[in-house]
Amino acid sequence: MPEAGGLSGIQCSGLFRRSRRGLSFVREVLRSPSGAERPGGTEDIAFFLRYVRPLWKVGASALLATVFVAGLKALIPLSSKVFIDDILLGNEAGLSSLFPVSSLTALAAALLLLGAVMGGMDVLRSYLMAQLRERFSLALQTDLFDHVLRFPLSYFRSQQTGYVMSRVSDDVQILQYVFSQFLPTMIANVMYVAFAFVVLFSLNLRLTLVVLAFVPFFLLVNVLFIGRIRAASYRERERQAYVSRDLAEVITGIDTVKTHAAEDREAGRISRTLRDVVQIRIKNTMLAAFSEYIRIGVQFLMLVAVFWYGGSEVIAGAMSVGDFVAFTVYIATFAASVSIFFSFPVVIQPALTSAARIREIFGLEREVGEEGLLAPEHFRGQIAFTDIAFAYPGGAPVLRGVSFTARPGDVIAVVGRTGVGKTTLINLLMKAFSPQAGTIMLDGIDLADLDPRWVRRQISVVSQEIFLFHTTIEENIRYSRPEASRGEVIEAARKAQVHDDILGFPNGYATVVGERGTRLSVGQRQRIAIARAFLKDAPILILDEPTSALDTATERQVQEALGTLARRRTTLLISHRPSLLAIAGRILLLEEGRVREVEPGSIPAGDAAAADAQKRHRPVAACNP
């Protein structure tokens, strides 16, 4: 039996295990980052100077105001010397020759005047810094968002929405914090420290050298922690991006989550991702705490040294009481400023991380723009695929030697089993991807030589995945041609046979459709998309399963509108609905990566779409005038 007050073997074993876990945690926090975890550096901050240069006048004015305020602030602790040496002790050789204040009232009045001037200049400085911050943020966010919008479609189809949004927004917010909070405070403190040291040298050279002797210790803290904090910040940003990615995915698919009663499952998935973020944040906090603990310790030793050496100077008569009090007041007041000054390289690491991540976004290759590419003034709409081969990265070939021609006015149906590559054909035509072999010609011009934005302006798309913006019906229709008049919008809605439905809403065309158009029925959303296509009036029309989610009665309405829309255009139709195939004048069968033109009665019966098409297909000559 263990002695009273002692520890049992089990208790000692538990204490030992906890100690080992604690030491393991400390080692993990303080471990040196790997090469892959050393993101960015000061060159990334330099990259963003392009957004500061146009604002140099505002920045210079803000800097001058900051210097002026710091200079006035550095005079305040001198009041303690004036108070002790000149007023209390009546030392005529004090500062009275420079600042002739011989009474307590005069000193108080001088301090009030100094405070009023300093306050007014500080308000001006804050206004100028706000101008600099907000105009910098506006330029950066605008440029970044414009850059992201110009990424190839393949990028957005390979990345989840929440991840992209986090990269674009969260890191910019960190840089905004640097410009709105940290950088102004840093500049002000640097100026104050500079002025304060000038005064300290004038008060006592030897004691000031004692203070400067502690500078290497502050620099040592930076050397120890900069790389670790930067790496930890990078890991935190990445995990936070994963959280945003998963949240956006769950919210977007909330109908599916509810249908499968998967709330607990999704909450658990998000919780696991958040747990990783929390663990990294704890490590970040501990890194900051360790560095701050050492920094505060150095400050405490510096203060002790000032008291010991300064006190010795006063006792020896080499330093006046007023000088010593003023010196210690300076040490006390700018201790925080010195801490901020020397902690800058550590605290700036999250900003450097965000700057590196934003610069990484800027470094991603944008879609080839208008410069050097063709944008013909006239376009008839002829399409020619010649020996096209394509495979997705790491996947098997999807298309092998695909060739066909679509002339203006042709309505061509592309049929085949699910996953055979029908939508890939459309993506290639839209320049979302580039073929590995073969050529695609538009009016005899190689698609590779055409500006992608010009190409997409020549194409109207009506698909099964309709996206409507959270705005009015009129604005959603007008999205295809923003300059269209109200009358043209209404005419497009009439052609799409949705005008009467729109008038049935209390607010008519001003009705807000809700996020992704959830306040409208599937059929109404589909016909609004058709109205967009009517309004755009592009030479090429792509119909990608446009009626797959519709009931028979609604499909009949949509089919009639699509038949009208297809007239006098080059139309590619992808559909498994036999009734819709009836508007096609030609049918292309895509199987095993190759395409061939077939008669309706010769489509292989194994194709689910083709089986019904054999029975019900009727070419519509009116679609091919």
* Higher local confidence (pLDDT), 226 or 298: 298
pLDDT band at 490 (very low <50, low <70, confident <90, very high): very high
- Euclidean distance between the first and the last CA atom of the chain, given in angstroms as a whole number: 105
Instruction: Reply yes or no on whether the pLDDT at 433 is more than 80.
Output: yes
Q: Could you tell me which residues come within 8 angstroms of residue 407 by beta carbon, excluding any fewer than 6 positions away?
A: 382, 570
* Higher local confidence (pLDDT), 510 or 298: 510
Q: What is the pLDDT of residue 618?
A: 40
Instruction: Reply yes or no on whether the pLDDT at 139 is more than 80.
Output: yes
Amino acid residing at 106: A
Q: What is the pLDDT of residue 19?
A: 57
In whole angstroms, what is the distance from residue 283 CA to residue 495 CA?
A: 62
Q: What is the pLDDT of residue 119?
A: 86
pLDDT band at 386 (very low <50, low <70, confident <90, very high): very high
In sequence order, what are the beta bridge partners of 460? 541
* Higher local confidence (pLDDT), 114 or 40: 114
Q: Kindly state the average pLDDT of the residues 24-28.
A: 53
Q: What is the pLDDT of residue 546?
A: 78
| Highest mean pLDDT of the ranges 517-521, 548-552, 585-589 | 585-589
> Are 617 and 600 in contact, with CB atoms under 8 Å apart?
yes
In sequence order, what are the beta bridge partners of 571? 411, 541
| Highest mean pLDDT of the ranges 111-120, 161-170, 604-613 | 111-120
What does the DSSP 8-state code read for residue 300?
H
Q: Which two tokens stand for residue 475?
A: 């604005």
Closest of 255, 323, 289 to residue 80, by C-alpha? 323
Q: Kindly state the average pLDDT of the residues 377-399.
A: 89
pLDDT band at 345 (very low <50, low <70, confident <90, very high): low
pLDDT band at 27 (very low <50, low <70, confident <90, very high): low
Instruction: Reply yes or no on whether the pLDDT at 405 is more than 80.
Output: yes
- Helices 161-177 and 104-149 cross at an angle (nearest 10°) of 160
Average pLDDT along the chain: 76
> Are 111 and 79 in contact, with CB atoms under 8 Å apart?
yes
Domains of the chain and any CATH numbers: 55-362 (1.20.1560.10), 383-623 (3.40.50.300)
pLDDT band at 96 (very low <50, low <70, confident <90, very high): very low
CA geometry: angle 621, 384, 580, nearest 5 deg: 35
In whole angstroms, what is the distance from residue 55 CA to residue 371 CA?
A: 29
Q: How far is CA 360 from CA 144, 243, 350, 446, in A?
A: 11, 20, 15, 32
Q: Which of 14-18, 75-79, 415-419 has the lowest mean pLDDT?
A: 14-18
> Are 523 and 550 in contact, with CB atoms under 8 Å apart?
yes
Q: Work out the burial of residue 61: count CB atoms within 10 Å of its CB; fewer than 13 is exposed, 13-18 middle, 19 or more buried.
A: middle
Q: Which two tokens stand for residue 124?
A: 């001006």
State pTM to two decimals: 0.60
Q: Which of 161-165, 474-478, 527-531 has the lowest mean pLDDT?
A: 161-165
